[in-house]
């Protein structure tokens, strides 16, 4: 029990640091420092999102279609789940080289690139069948404006599948960007799920909402 509590305490400290990040460089530095112990410590919290997001992907994207982009893939926890479901062409994007190095060891991604959400992304228009993201649109992380660029690199008829933390949904401007993209004819809403817990074990107040949009 003491060991488990120790990991949860470390996870809490690391989460506080990344949520308090004031810049993309700080986010990258905090994740670089956390990369080696990230999987074990988030597991002690009962971190659900990298695994649950695959359920929404499977509902909207046939396994024979791709490529997919795992946005903010981190250490690649989602990659093996997608591969087990039959998705063979999955790219990963993350701000941390250290996290990407761990993701590469999972042999689940055909491509991994370092990039900063909110800036230009290194793929052409309409490149991906869908993008997915779990736990990235949260405090101190990617801005709502980054959705514009993610939609740009997703093909027409493709899907945007992601979660947004409760604390930033309104105050972080996500609802406003949703409306901007819809009014511009860039996407249409398909599904908005209820809030649910990020972690099965700890921090019951950490809640996210899943969204699915079809790119037009």
Assigned domain for 5 exists: no
- Please state the rounded mean pLDDT for residues 95-111: 97
- What pLDDT is attached to residue 34? 85
The tokens for 60 are 């909207």
Mean pLDDT of the chain: 93
Assigned domain for 145 exists: yes
Q: Which domain holds residue 194?
A: 49-215
Assigned domain for 190 exists: yes
Enter the pTM of the model: 0.94
pLDDT tens for each residue of 183-214: 999 999 999 999 999 999 989 999 999 999 99
**In the structure, what pLDDT confidence band is assigned to residue 47 with cuts at 50, 70 and 90?**
very high
Residue with structure tokens 């062409």? 89
Assigned domain for 65 exists: yes
Assigned domain for 4 exists: no
| Beta-carbon contacts of residue 21 (< 8 Å; ≥ 6 apart) | 27, 30, 140, 141
As a whole-number percent, the residues of the chain with pLDDT over 70 amount to: 94
Nearest Cα neighbor of 152 from 177, 187, 110 is 187
| Beta-carbon contacts of residue 176 (< 8 Å; ≥ 6 apart) | 144
pLDDT tens for each residue of 129-172: 999 999 999 998 899 999 999 999 999 999 999 999 999 999 99
Neighbour-count burial of 58, counting CB atoms closer than 10 A to its CB (0-12 exposed, 13-18 middle, 19+ buried): middle
Assigned domain for 159 exists: yes
Assigned domain for 25 exists: no
Assigned domain for 27 exists: no
Q: Tell me how many domains the chain contains.
A: 1
Which CATH number characterizes residue 181's domain? Answer: 3.40.50.150
Tell me how far apart the terminal alpha carbons of the chain are, to the nearest angstrom: 50
């Amino acid at each position: 029990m003491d060991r488990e509590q120790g990991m949860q305490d470390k996870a809490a400290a690391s989460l506080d640091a990344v949520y308090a990040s004031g810049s993309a460089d700080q986010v990258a530095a905090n994740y670089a420092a956390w990369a080696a112990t990230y999987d074990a410590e988030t597991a002690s919290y009962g971190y659900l999102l990298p695994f649950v997001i695959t359920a929404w992907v499977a509902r909207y994207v046939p396994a024979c279609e791709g490529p997919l982009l795992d946005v903010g893939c981190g250490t690649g926890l989602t990659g093996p789940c997608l591969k087990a479901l039959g998705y063979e062409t999955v790219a990963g994007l993350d701000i941390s080289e250290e996290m990407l190095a761990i993701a590469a060891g999972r042999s689940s991604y055909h491509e991994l690139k370092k990039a900063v959400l909110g800036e230009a992304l290194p793929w052409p228009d309409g490149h991906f069948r869908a993008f997915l993201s779990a736990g990235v649109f949260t405090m101190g992380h990617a801005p709502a404006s980054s959705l514009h660029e993610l939609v740009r690199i997703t093909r027409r008829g493709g899907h945007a599948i992601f979660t947004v933390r409760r604390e930033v949904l309104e105050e972080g401007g996500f609802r406003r960007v949703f409306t901007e993209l819809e009014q511009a004819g860039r996407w249409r809403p398909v599904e908005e799920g209820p809030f649910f817990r990020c972690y099965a074990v700890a921090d019951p107040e950490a809640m996210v909402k899943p969204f699915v949009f079809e790119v037009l």
